[in-house]
Chains A and B, each alone.
Chain A
Amino acid sequence: MSAAGAVSAGPAGSALPPRGLPRLIPADGPLRLADHVERYGPVPFRDRRGHGGRFGAAGLIGQVERAGLTGRGGACFPAGRKLRSVAENGRRAGPLRGQSGAVVVANGAESEPTSAKDRLLLTFAPHLVLDGIALAAEAVGATRAYLCLHESSDKLVFDLGAAIVERDRVGQNRVPVQMVPVPGGYVAGQETSLVNQINGKAPKPAFVPPRPFQKGAHGRPTLVQNVETLAHIALIARFGADWFRHLGPVPGPAVPSAPGSGAMAGSALVTLSGAVRMPGVYEIALGMPVGELIRRAGGPSEQPQAILAGGYFGGWLPYARAHDVPVSDPTLRAVGAALGPGVLILLPESACGLAETAWIASYLASQSAGQCGPCLNGLPALAEMLAQLAFGRPDGSALGGTERLLALVTRRGACHLPDGTAAFVTSALTAFAGDLRRHASYGPCPRARRRPVLPAPGHAWGAKP
């Protein structure tokens, strides 16, 4: 991988586009503002008459659409489409008390315990994220922005605050950026949860409609975007959609209308953990096979059994099955998993997949916001069932009961928690079907007694929401 650090100034003070990887995370450490500007060039804002930028008025949204950038927060929704909707709604909503229509919310809360990329990005390339916020604000016509961070990361809050002040001094922010500390909790970082917090309410998901892009913070059309997505936007604004897509051996054609074509383009940050030699955050070209990524991480540290792709709303895949699947949302979904916020966890043979699933199902049940009966009641019941399957000697009715519960919790809540949990559990029942049969015949396996591989911060068995 060529070092992105070796960039020289191009014509008119602009920087040459980074070749290859890494693009987002500088190989030589966190960049301060001056180094950031030197490396990537100035932020291509429009001039006072609304012209220019790199691609002219409304050009950024067009470029992001052409690039096919999808959200990196977990939902993988096309970023260009979201930008366009917010811009249109903002125009329609019109100015209110002198403010123009929209609000930008950067989601750096990273409530998924298995993901570490957002923290890393904010530590190493805060100015890319802040550039993205400023450019997105300009594109949708927003006049304020919020940067949401996990409340426990004091150092990050401090450093980002300093970065924002530094930019304010040289007018690099374009809109005031306010930091929002987000409490821990799996659902606290959900987009409507963030909007609720900004509006002074409890950090719980809201019932939609209206979605934030229609009516969000302060009742305005709100763009909620993951910090990594915004960082990509900051680079697309400088170097264009074609540069974004051109990664890896085969350049992807810019065919925005083709379904899924965007989801395999560009680079993404992936948190790789579990039984690998060198766990951590990797920036890869989307489409790289799972096995290749694991090889680059030094290979498995123990005999691998399965992979959890997509975090706790993702899915389990037997290792042999997962090995050749390209890392991207559509390809992972096609095999019953997902990309989510770019999370891959390697489960070793020494662990019991059902036990891990039961542990996380119990964690997710405790994370219910308690607003919807089917989630509040159904998830603990589901966790209970899974505990039976994993640690007891399940009979035929246990599996039937589990499947009935799975049907009862899907699409009956205000947010995705019950659905995501159900998808996670369903994939476990498929991937670990052999274990299910063994447990039914011989009882729980000794592997179930080891310490859990999957992280569940602050959770203990039987904890209630």
Chain B
Amino acid sequence: MCAELLPELITTDPWGYPIIAPGPVPRDLLPLARYAVTMCPTLALLLTRAERT
């Protein structure tokens, strides 16, 4: 379902599990990313703050 909400960053593998694009979430997609994390039926997604390297 998260792939529906955030197709820019998430695709599904053949078994329905999310494949997340590497790299940080672009700022304009952040609210949608937060929504996807909250709505995931199994709470499988996590939004973390990237560390500054």
Contacts and interface: CB of A to CB of B under 8 A. Distances in A.
Q: Decide if A and B touch, CB cutoff 8 A.
A: yes
Interface of A: 373-374, 377-378, 408, 412
A373 B15 contact: yes
A62 B3 CA distance: 49
Contacts of A374: 13, 15, 17
B4 to A, nearest CB: 17
A189 B13 CA distance: 29
B21 interface: no
Interface residues of B, number: 6
B13 to A, nearest CB: 5
Interface string B4-29: 00000000011111010000000000
A402 to B, nearest CB: 14
Contacts of B13: 373-374, 378, 408
User: Main SS of chain B's interface residues?
Assistant: loop
A378 B19 CA distance: 13
A373 B16 contact: yes
Contacts of A377: 14-15, 17
Nearest to B15: A377
8 contacts: A373-B16, A374-B13, A374-B17, A377-B17, A408-B13, A408-B19, A412-B17, A412-B19
Interface of B: 13-17, 19
Given A374-B15, A378-B13, A408-B14, 5 more contacts: A373-B16, A374-B17, A377-B15, A377-B17, A408-B19
A417 to B, nearest CB: 16
Contacts of A408: 13-14, 19
User: Main SS of chain A's interface residues?
Assistant: helix
A373 B15 CA distance: 7
A377 B13 CA distance: 10
Nearest to A374: B17
Nearest to A377: B15
Nearest to B16: A373
A126 B46 CA distance: 43
A377 B12 CA distance: 13
Contacts of A378: 13, 15
Nearest to B13: A408
B21 to A, nearest CB: 13
Contacts of B19: 408, 412
A457 B5 CA distance: 44
A113 to B, nearest CB: 28
B23 to A, nearest CB: 14
Nearest to A405: B14
B11 to A, nearest CB: 11
A378 B15 CA distance: 8
A374 B16 CA distance: 9
A71 B16 CA distance: 37
A373 B19 CA distance: 11
Nearest to B22: A411
Contacts of B15: 373-374, 377-378
A403 to B, nearest CB: 14
B17 to A, nearest CB: 4
A417 B19 CA distance: 18
A119 to B, nearest CB: 38
A377 B19 CA distance: 14
Contacts of A373: 13, 15-17
A356 B17 CA distance: 30
A196 B45 CA distance: 22
Nearest to A373: B17
A372 to B, nearest CB: 8
A377 B17 CA distance: 10
Contacts of A412: 17, 19
A412 B15 CA distance: 13
A146 to B, nearest CB: 30
A408 B14 CA distance: 9
Nearest to A381: B14
Shortest beta-carbon contacts, A-B, top 4: A373-B17, A377-B15, A408-B13, A373-B15
Contacts of B14: 377, 408
